[in-house]
């Protein structure tokens, strides 16, 4: 199967390398074109523009930072729409349902086929083909591209009409962002009250709250180390979009709202490009206890 891939950030790079490793022919494009060079070393071809990639490939996947990037790649000059007639577009970026619907409508109006397919799972699962893929849109296209989803992920869910994949992803990340803040507060409280935060990790791991995120991020957070797997600026974008979904549906989300404030504070401290676990740093204000 020949696929195009737009967006070679942390996720897009890992996903496209994984596709190449599994025998897919991949043509890549990235806004900063120099980032394509590493993919060429892995066997990819390069398209000069999103339009050129779509022209060449029957299926094009996108993995872009946010709604504005996702819209720009489709609607701007030399964008996806130029050659979409008869072609298939799969947007795996995390965006809101409105953005996804706008893209879907425009693509269908030009004779193309569309799926939204945001993912749960981060850099390592992307490298290992262990993502969880939240798909919605054209069911026939979903069935057609299952071989690619099977390489990229350990499980895909077909959720019905466009928007449902985006909403599911935002709900999941809203929970994750809130949990990360509670976890950071717990680590800080343990330390400041004279307990060993390392022992707290062991206690948590043995009980009902044991989870992959605490296990993965806890040890690095205790070392004040936040190499970006999921950049904090993207987690804050997801909290913002999830809160907007809460507004639309009159769902009160005080915990998520507080978590969003903490991520905003972290961004204002210049931590946006670090891993989202760097929200831990917002709790390290000078200690006035003595």
Q: Which of 12, 160, 28 is nearest to 93 (CA)?
A: 12
Size, binding site for ligand NDP by CB under 6 A = 27
Residues 16 and 28: beta-carbon distance below 8 Å: yes
Residue 93 within binding range of ligand NDP, rule CB under 6 A: yes
Q: Which of 9, 77, 75, 98 is nearest to 89 (CA)?
A: 75
Q: Which of 13, 87, 167, 169 is catalytic?
A: 169
Smallest separation, CB 99 to ligand SSN (Å): 15
Span near ligand NDP by CB under 6 A; candidates 185-193, 227-235, 244-252, 258-266:
227-235
Residue 177: which residues within 8 A CB-CB, separation 6 or more? Answer: 235, 236, 238, 239, 242, 256, 259, 260, 263, 276
Residues 138 and 27: beta-carbon distance below 8 Å: no
Q: Which of 103, 107, 83 is nearest to 93 (CA)?
A: 103
Please confirm, yes or no, whether 169 is among the known catalytic residues: yes
Size, binding site for ligand SSN by CB under 6 A = 6
Cα distance between residue 40 and residue 44, in whole Å: 4
- Closest to ligand SSN by CB, 122 vs 184, is 122
25, 35, 55, 58: which one binds ligand NDP (CB under 6 A):
35
| 167 contact choice in ligand SSN, ligand NDP, none (CB below 5 to 8 Å, kind-dependent) | none
Residues 137-176 within binding reach of ligand SSN (CB under 6 A): 173
Smallest separation, CB 95 to ligand NDP (Å): 7
12, 79, 153, 163: which one binds ligand NDP (CB under 6 A):
12
Catalytic positions are: 169
């Amino acid at each position: 199967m020949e696929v195009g891939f737009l967006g070679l950030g942390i996720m897009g790079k890992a996903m496209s390398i994984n596709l190449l490793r599994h025998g897919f022919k991949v043509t890549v494009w990235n806004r900063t074109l120099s980032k394509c060079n590493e993919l060429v070393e892995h066997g990819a071809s390069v398209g000069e523009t999103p339009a050129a990639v779509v022209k060449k490939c029957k299926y094009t996947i996108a993995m872009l930072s946010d709604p504005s990037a996702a819209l720009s790649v489709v609607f701007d000059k030399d964008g996806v729409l130029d050659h979409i007639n008869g072609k298939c577009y799969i947007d795996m970026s995390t965006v809101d349902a409105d953005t996804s619907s706008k893209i879907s409508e425009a693509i269908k109006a030009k004779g193309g086929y569309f799926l939204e397919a945001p993912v749960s799972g981060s850099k390592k699962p992307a490298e290992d083909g262990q993502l969880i893929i939240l798909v919605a849109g054209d069911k026939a296209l979903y069935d057609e591209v299952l071989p690619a989803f099977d390489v990229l992920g350990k499980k895909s869910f077909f959720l019905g009409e466009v928007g449902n994949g985006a909403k599911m992803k935002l709900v999941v990340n809203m929970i994750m962002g809130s949990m990360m803040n509670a976890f950071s507060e717990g680590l800080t409280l343990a330390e400041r009250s004279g307990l060993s935060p390392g022992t707290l990790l062991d206690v948590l791991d043995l009980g009902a709250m044991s989870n992959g995120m605490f296990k993965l991020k806890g040890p690095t957070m205790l070392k004040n180390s936040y190499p970006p797997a999921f950049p904090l600026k993207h987690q804050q974008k997801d909290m913002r979009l999830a809160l907007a979904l809460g507004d639309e549906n009159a769902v009160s989300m005080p915990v998520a709202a507080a978590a969003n404030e903490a991520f905003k504070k972290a961004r204002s401290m210049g931590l946006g490009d670090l891993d989202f676990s760097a929200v831990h740093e917002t709790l390290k204000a000078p200690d006035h206890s003595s």
